[in-house]
Amino acid sequence: MTNSVDNLVLEHLRAIRAVQDKRTERFARLESRMTNLESTVAGLRRDLAHRYGEVVEQHGHTD
């Protein structure tokens, strides 16, 4: 009887570990995507600041 209980516990632990592994992989992918989004937003902000600087400079020349 004890052997079957031990096997059942081990089976459940393996199933839990498999689910945890999938979640760990998904979390890693989400982290990577978030990093890419942060880089993209930083680039957009840099480009926007550059464009704003050009507009201010052109506006200064017209005054």
pLDDT at 21 over 70: yes
Distances (CA, A) of 22 to 25, 26, 63: 5, 6, 61
Using the Cα atoms of residue 25, residue 31, residue 36 and residue 41 in order, give the sign of their dihedral. Answer: positive
Q: Give 3-state DSSP helix, strand, coil % of the chain, rounded to 5.
A: 95, 0, 5
Q: What is the pLDDT of residues 35-61, one digit of tens each?
A: 999 999 999 999 999 999 999 988 887
Domain definitions of the chain by residue range: 1-63
Q: What is the pLDDT of residue 59?
A: 86
